[in-house]
Amino acid sequence: MSNLEEFRKETRSWLEENCPQSMRTPTPEEEVIWGGRKQEWVNLRKHHPKAWEHAKSLEKQASDNASAFTWIKDMPLTELEKPEVIAKVKEQHKKQKLSKQNTIVIGNNLKSLKSAKKEAENLGYNTLILTSQIKGEAKVVAKSLASIALEIKNSNIPIEKPACLIVGGETSVKVKGSGLGGRNSEIALAFAIEITNEDKISALFAGTDGIDGITDAAGAYCNGASRIKSRKAGVSAKDSLINNDSYSFFKKAGDLKITGPTGTNVNDVGIIFIEEYIFIPFTMNRIMN
């Protein structure tokens, strides 16, 4: 067996033992032979110095036998030991890795809130986006939002009437009852309880996907008369909230927001109006549509 044949045999044996198949598969992205990419060899030198030294010795053996063999095309491993070369390889690898990742956000909750804000301002409302990150138990969040709405009504703080408060995110519901509903109709029901008999305050809470819980509604409208209207129909707002039956409550009142599936989902949206005069019914739909 000639020296060259012995070298080839030893090389194949070493490859099988030390290099995964991915390192020995050529790729059009970089200059490679069996040995894989330059970055992989940099990693080999760092983590497996004995294998690195053996690979170098095979290159030297080939050179001593007048064979121009290198693991990487036109670059011996001795060249890849130089700090400046290693630094360049790492930088190129970083750029290539980043260039393969391209994320474009075409829609999110805040974008939807900003669109609603623009429409509300066009309608003459002083508008404030409170947050796009709202979280927590729906009925607890409802109390906080109601307190802000009442403050605006009574003292024009933090913005003056006519006002439009906009919130987004996702609340949660601790289900203890056997009723039907979702987090948006639940927050609407809890909000309605907090503003009972208050005029000039109304709200819509809905999911941007058009689906609230396991119902066919996106959410619900509510105002200071919601609880009174349901009471006349023999429905208790508090009992409905305890039983997590917000869907049935608003269905009987005719105040469900039903859009059907929208084909998109950027969490939930809440729009609260505090009117200076009498509330105009079409305003809510114009902003949401």
What is the rounded CA–CA span in Å between residue 220 and residue 2? 86
DSSP state at residue 172: B
Mean pLDDT of residues grouped by 10 in the chain (289 residues)? Answer: 63 67 46 56 84 83 72 82 88 72 79 95 96 95 97 96 96 94 96 95 96 94 92 92 96 93 93 79 52
DSSP state at residue 79: G
Q: Output the pLDDT for position 28.
A: 40
Q: Output the pLDDT for position 37.
A: 73
pTM for the structure as a whole: 0.63
Rounded (10°) angle between helices 183-194 and 138-155: 40
Q: How far from each other are the two terminal CA atoms of the chain, in whole angstroms?
A: 82
- Closest by CA to 138, choosing from 200, 210, 206, is 206
Q: Which fold has domain 109-288?
A: glycerate kinase, domain 1 (3.40.1480)
3-state SS class at 135: coil
Q: Cβ distance 42 to 90 under 8 Å?
A: yes
The boundaries of every CATH 3.40.1480.10 domain in the chain are 109-288
Q: Output the pLDDT for position 146.
A: 97
Pairing of β 256-257 and β 219-223: antiparallel
What is the rounded CA–CA span in Å between residue 113 and residue 287? 10
**Residue type for 40, please?**
E
- Closest by CA to 38, choosing from 8, 69, 73, is 73
Q: Output the pLDDT for position 13.
A: 73
Q: Output the pLDDT for position 72.
A: 78
